[in-house]
Structure 1
Amino acid sequence: MFLDALDLEPGGADALRADICIVGAGAAGITMALQLIGSGYDVLLLEAGGRREEPATQALYAGQVRDEALHPPPDRYRVRRFGGSTTLWGGRCIPFDPIDFEPRAHVPDSGWPIAFEDVLPYYPRANTLCEAGRFAYTASEAFAQPPSPLIAGFHSRDFDTDALERFSRPTDFGARYGSRLEAARNVRVLLHANVTALEVGDDGAQVRALQVRTLTGKQLQVRARHVVLAAGGLEVARLLLASRDVHPRGIGNAHDVVGRYYMCHLAGTIGTVVLDGPVSAVNHGYQRDADGIYCRRRFALSAESQRRRGVGNFIARLHHPRITDPAHRCGPLSLLYLAKPFIPYEYAKRLHGDGPIEARTWWAHLRNLVGDLPSTVAFGWHLLTRRTLASRKFPSIIVHPKGNRFSLDFHAEQQPNRESRVTLSETCDALGMPQLLVDWRHAPGDVQTVRTALAVLARDMHESGAGRLDYDPDTVEAEMLRYGAYGGHHIGTARMGTDPQRSVVDSDCRVHGMENLYVAGAAAFPTSSQANPTLTIVALALRLAEHLQARLVEPAVTCAGTQTREAA
């Protein structure tokens, strides 16, 4: 059932009771609600936005950034509407690796209180919900016939080229699963329900109520036996820090951990990869498995190499030459450059950077487009038919540059860093809630991970005789920070752990010291891995839903708000 807070009458608190209240209808919140359909428990899913984009609602995500060159504005890469950021994501699905869960001496504050094996049973179901096909993340598992090598003749002691990334449609969880939630008898979705504070009982250990406000001035109250914050890595920290009536520093923040250890990913494009042999010797594009799922191989630094070299997790892919430089003489790339005004900010930033298009550069790209017209037309047709109009979209731009000359695209783990954090600013939004101040920082170990991995990959390309990777080692840090923190991956602000002095939630994602408050999503990740977070967010949301069902022995309320027996 769908309801709208704009239509509810203030004071009708009895109607806003539930066994489980989930704050945030993105990947984590919708996953949990789906898992709880038919459970016998009353589930209330609160979403701050509506079914479509609303500028006034989106503006509630606005905030400040300490260094704007290092981090995008807080209202970018987040979407305040039903479906959350799945309405925006690119669909890349990758599980975390076993090493990501391990304590590593060379990665400060690493180690999860759960193991890879604790999450593994939930990954296949997560793959299904993300519509990414089977849980098969090596080429040897995914394809009946082994594909041709990524690069003919390439061999490495440190990098695996059998590892896959799989791609969702990409699936908008709101559009895909909204009808299922609407039909569920035990689930209510309340739109335009902005949670502005968590009200804690006198004992300080129970969330007694959630304060909800609308932009039209309505104030509502929600009471639930268990509360789950699934509002994203930034908003979860904001809600905890802003709830200060009983806990002066914020809920779960007795030891000043909430908002700290804020991680994104380290990503960039660097150097020139020149590969020997014909174009057919390179197979760096997307392949479709038997279910029609787009898959792509990459260079993945092995766990053994990470341990031996004392670095974090790292992957790289062959990438097209830098779009902004017309010297590539590639019509399709110049078409993308000239189309900058029509490409959403979240993607245009990495394709083009932030600067304006200069007239001289514009003309050089136009010459490329005209001079390479057949390829440009074919590329445009491909974009129209395989991406714009297709239900399962071609994931990204793939070109086969002349002379087998590529750049290298990398994606690396960011180490937990206590000084990288989000806090509350002195400015309030339209609902009176403090805005966020983001102070994202990287550490020397982050640079060392990228610098070491690139050096090893360059050595292996040379020694195998497959080609060469040319780059300036002195530019590594500048390239990994060219566009700042990787947008959209907001990780670690309410991290999981056993020690309340160094973490916010326990192994079940329950906030330390709180009996009925949980966190779902990447905020709870203690480390970031090399992997995009969505698949693991969904897997852990399934695990948390299962845990809550185990805690709720029997229903305590009905959808009408009638009290029944409490759980044992």
Structure 2
Amino acid sequence: MIESADAIETGTVLKADLCIVGAGAAGITLALAMRDSGLDVLLLEGGREQLDPRAQALMEGEVADPALHSPPVFYRQRRLGGATAIWGGRCVPLDPLDFEPREAVPGSGWPIGYEEVARHYPAASRLCEAGQGSYSADGALPTGTPPMFAAALGNGVTAEGLERFSCPTNFGTRYRARLAHARRVRLITGVNCTAVRLQAGGRQVKHLDLATLDGRRLQVQAQAVVLAVGGLETPRLLLASNDVHQAGLGNAHDVVGRYYMCHLAGSVGMLKLAGATAAVRHGYERSDDGIYIRRRLALTAESQRRLGVANMVARLHFPAVSDPGHGSSVLSGIFLSRRLLSHEYGRRVANAKDGGLKPALRHIGNVLRYPHDAAGFLTHWLLKHHVAPRRFPSVILKNRANRFSLEINAEQRPLAESRVTLVQATDALGMPQLKVDWRYHRADIDSVGQSLQQIARSVAQAGLGEYTFDEARLEHDLTCFGAYGGHHIGTARMGTDARSSVVDADCRVHGVDNLWIASSAVFPTSGQANPTLSIVALSLRLAEHLGPRLCGRPLDAAAAVA
């Protein structure tokens, strides 16, 4: 059943066996997995089914350095489906190495093993509509598909890993009917959790305080509560819930909101490949199950351990858009229309120095010189990206010169001083707003540099060509656009010791018997992967943990969401 909070009288106390706060990828996954459990499940969403500017404004806040992090209102959506309403669809699993304690990444090591998450990746991939096949080129591509390069890479570098792409699927629209028809799932939109209230001893959630933008005040009483509100709203809600614990819920050791991670990202250097351009497969391909996939460069686990570096992947990317020397009418057209692009991509182009009138005229000259290229690209982009039900993921261009930059997505080490805190300013519901102070360590930059040097050696030894980058510019190239997108990770991290973590191995808040967290907030480290696929997988794992505890029998989460 789906209803609006507008139809509920103020002062009402809602009751359920399980209350899930937040109807994004994590919350919807968990609700679907629990729908046949025999439990009464209450799923709360602060926004509406469509974007409501007033609800979205509740996410506004401050940033310590606007050059390093976008305003908190960006990349998040307070609506049914959450950020899946705007994501790009990239699905990538974490690597086994990410779960291990690593000397190169202080504070690393998950309290669970890789298999605990990996066994849920097939079902998570299906929910994301990214297929159910392998995340390696050898297992996903049709037999006989040529390799990424004409010669095999070696020296600890591989091009076998790949990323799969969702449609991209908006969980709110895709799974609305399932939620509506689930007999014991009640989804209420337009109602926001403003505080988690504990019993006097602090060991149990007593009730949740709820509020609507029209002034209604409600409560929820539930046997179990799961906060599925994302990597920024989770610490905000925990810190604001300070009636029993003055420092905030789960924050006895000042860990909530700390260790905030995103990913370091940017286009770095120049890869000049020898041989025919047709021998380089740098774009998107279709897997056996019809999903868009793309291969990447990465260091093997053995190579990462040997070099003492953090995790990182690199994609073959076109040269700098702002440099008209690329001779591409399409790239010049993108640069000239940069202020019409989405926030993430527009920011990356608009922040580049345009150099004034002369470079602008060269960009216009590129467009005029190769009009057929631009027309072909626009036709493809309209039909394959905007019209097709499975969207072509991003801009891929013919590369006549066999020259590429490397697009980096790199892990950063968890830092206690990288954090989110509350400020005095409040939103329309009276909740304190957030201040985001995202930081990285110089060692993160050096780690990427060592990994790129290893890629350069591998390319040269394979006889493929030459990769070079300016080490003096590396930090600028990786940070000039700030923290990467909506990868909000680590603010309520998982661990066995309450002095350095917020939740235990089952994602239960330390010291509170009936409160769990489902989001990338619980990731102890970021790895190289976009977090959505692992968020969904961990939500399925949480469903299987809650089954025996709440209804006295095991649950098959994969079967429940099939």
8 A Cα contact 1:237 1:259, kept in partner:
yes
SS in 2 for 1:22: strand
1:176 & 1:138 partners in 2: Cα distance?
A: 27
> Within 2, Cα distance between the matches of 1:343 and 1:208?
46
Deviation of 1:506 after TM superposition, in Å, equals 0.3
How far residue 233 of structure 1 moved from its aligned partner, in angstroms, is: 0.2
Identify the match of residue 285 of structure 1 among 261, 276, 283: 283
Q: Which residue of 1 is the match for residue 494 of structure 2?
A: 496
Equivalent position amino acid for 2:123 in 1: R
Query: Which of 36, 40, 48 does residue 38 from structure 1 map onto?
Result: 36
Q: Which amino acid aligns with 1:145?
A: T
Counterpart-to-counterpart distance in 2, 1:87 and 1:342: 19
Ranges in structure 1 where 5+ consecutive residues have no aligned partner:
556-568
Give unpaired runs (5+ residues) of structure 2. Answer: 554-562
List aligned pairs for 1:168-567, cutoff 5 A: 168-353=166-351, 360-553=358-551
Quick one: percent identity of the two aligned structures?
52
CA distance in 1, matches of 2:229, 2:149: 41
CA distance in 2, matches of 1:32, 1:356: 47
**Distance in 1 separating the partners of 2:193 and 2:520:** 19
Q: Is it true that 1:144 corresponds to 2:142 in the alignment?
A: yes
**Equivalent residue, structure 2, for 1:564:** none
Q: CA RMSD in A?
A: 1.4
- Is the contact made by 1:169 and 1:393 (CA closer than 8 Å) also made in structure 2? yes
What's the offset of the Cα at 1:359? Answer: 5.0
Q: Deviations over 1:151-172 (max 9, x none)?
A: 2125221111111111100000
Q: 1:216: Cα distance to partner?
A: 1.0
Task: Name the structure 2 match of 1:7.
Answer: 7
**Between 341-350 and 184-193, the greater mean CA deviation after superposition:** 341-350
How many angstroms apart in 1 are the aligned matches of 2:415 and 2:540? Answer: 28
Q: Which residue of 2 aligns with 1:159?
A: 157
Off by >3 Å, runs of 4+ in structure 1: 354-363
Cα distance between partner residues in 2 of 1:342 and 1:549: 48
* TM-score normalised per structure 1: 0.95
Residue by residue, what CA displacement relative to the aligned partner does 1:29-57 show, whole Å, maximum 9, x if unpaired?
Answer: 00001111121101111101001111111
Equivalent residues, number = 553
Q: Which residue of 1 aligns with 2:45?
A: 47
Q: For the residues of structure 2 that align with 1:26 and 1:272, how far apart are their CA atoms?
A: 39
Q: CA deviation at 1:360?
A: 4.6
- 8 A Cα contact 1:83 1:173, kept in partner: yes
Taking the aligned partners of 2:437 and 2:352, their CA distance within structure 1 comes to 20
Separation in 2, partners of 1:473, 1:149 = 30
Task: Return closer, same or farther for 1:415/1:67 CA change in 2, 3 Å cut-off.
Answer: same
Q: Distance between the aligned counterparts of 1:360 and 1:389, measured in 2? A: 36
1:546, distance to aligned residue in structure 2 (A):
1.3
User: Shift of residue 474 of structure 1?
Assistant: 1.1
Question: For the Cα contact (< 8 Å) 1:139–1:147, is it kept in 2?
Answer: no
Q: Which amino acid aligns with 2:525?
A: T
2:175 match: secondary structure: helix
- Residues 49-94 of structure 1 show CA distances to partners (whole Å, capped at 9, x for unaligned) of 0011111111111111111111111001111111000001110111
Q: Kindly indicate whether the alpha-carbon contact (under 8 Å) linking 1:139 and 1:146 is maintained by their aligned counterparts in 2.
A: no
Partner of 1:21 in structure 2?
19
Instruction: Map 1:75-94; keep pairs closer than 5 Å.
Output: 75-94=73-92
Q: C-alpha offsets along residues 380-399 of structure 1, whole Å, 9 cap, x if unaligned?
A: 11101111100001111111
**For 1:431-451, what per-residue CA distance to the aligned partner results, in whole angstroms no more than 9, with x for missing partners?**
111000111110122112211
Matched AA of 1:61? M
Task: Give the drift of 1:3.
Answer: 1.3
Distance 2:457 2:62 in 1: 42
What's the offset of the Cα at 1:353?
2.6
The answer to whether the 8 Å contact 2:39/2:551 transfers is: no
Counterpart contact for 2:354–2:360, Cα < 8 Å: no
Q: 1:537 to 1:493 in 2, by over 3 A?
A: same
> Shift of the alpha carbon at 1:365?
2.1
CA contact (8 A) 1:48 1:80 kept: yes
Q: CA deviation at 1:340?
A: 2.2
2:98 corresponds to which of 96, 100, 103: 100
Q: Matched residues in 1 for 2:428 and 2:357: separation? A: 41
8 Å CA contact retained: 2:282, 2:295? yes
Question: Separation in 2 of the partners of 1:455 and 1:36?
Answer: 48
- Output the CA distance in 2 between the equivalents of 1:156 and 1:356: 39
- Alpha-carbon separation, structure 2, partners of 1:350 and 1:84: 24
In the alignment, the residues of structure 1 paired with residue 25 and residue 354 of structure 2 have an alpha-carbon distance, to the nearest angstrom, of: 34
Deviations 1:178-204 (A, max 9, x none): 111011111011111111111111010
Contact map agreement 2:235 2:492 (CA 8 A) in 1: yes
Q: Distance in 1 between matches of 2:79 and 2:97?
A: 35
Distance 1:352 1:142 in 2: 37
- Separation of aligned partners in 1, 2:552 and 2:218: 27
Whether the aligned pair in 2 keeps the contact of 1:21 and 1:45 (CA below 8 Å) is yes
**How far apart, in 1, do the equivalents of 2:458 and 2:524 lie?**
32
Structure 2 partner of 1:565 = none
CA distance in 1, matches of 2:440, 2:305: 21
Tell me the distance in 2 between the aligned counterparts of 1:286 and 1:351. Answer: 22
Compute the displacement of 1:120 (Å): 1.7
* Displacement of 1:358: 5.3
Describe the superposition over 1:314-368 as per-residue Cα deviations: whole angstroms up to 9, x where unpaired: 1101101111222211011122223323322133223443778955544332221
* 1:503-527 C-alpha deviation (Å, 9 max, x unpaired): 0000000000000000001000000
The 8 Å contact of residues 40 and 554 in structure 1, kept in 2 or not, is answered as no
CA distance in 2, matches of 1:355, 1:277: 33
Q: 1:355 to 1:404 in 2, by over 3 A?
A: closer
Q: Tell me if structure 1 keeps the 8 A contact 2:40–2:185.
A: yes
Asked if 2 retains the 8 angstrom alpha-carbon contact of 1:496 and 1:524, the reply is yes
CA–CA distance in structure 2, aligned partners of residues 60 and 49 of structure 1: 10
- 8 Å contact from structure 2 (residues 339, 350) kept in 1: no
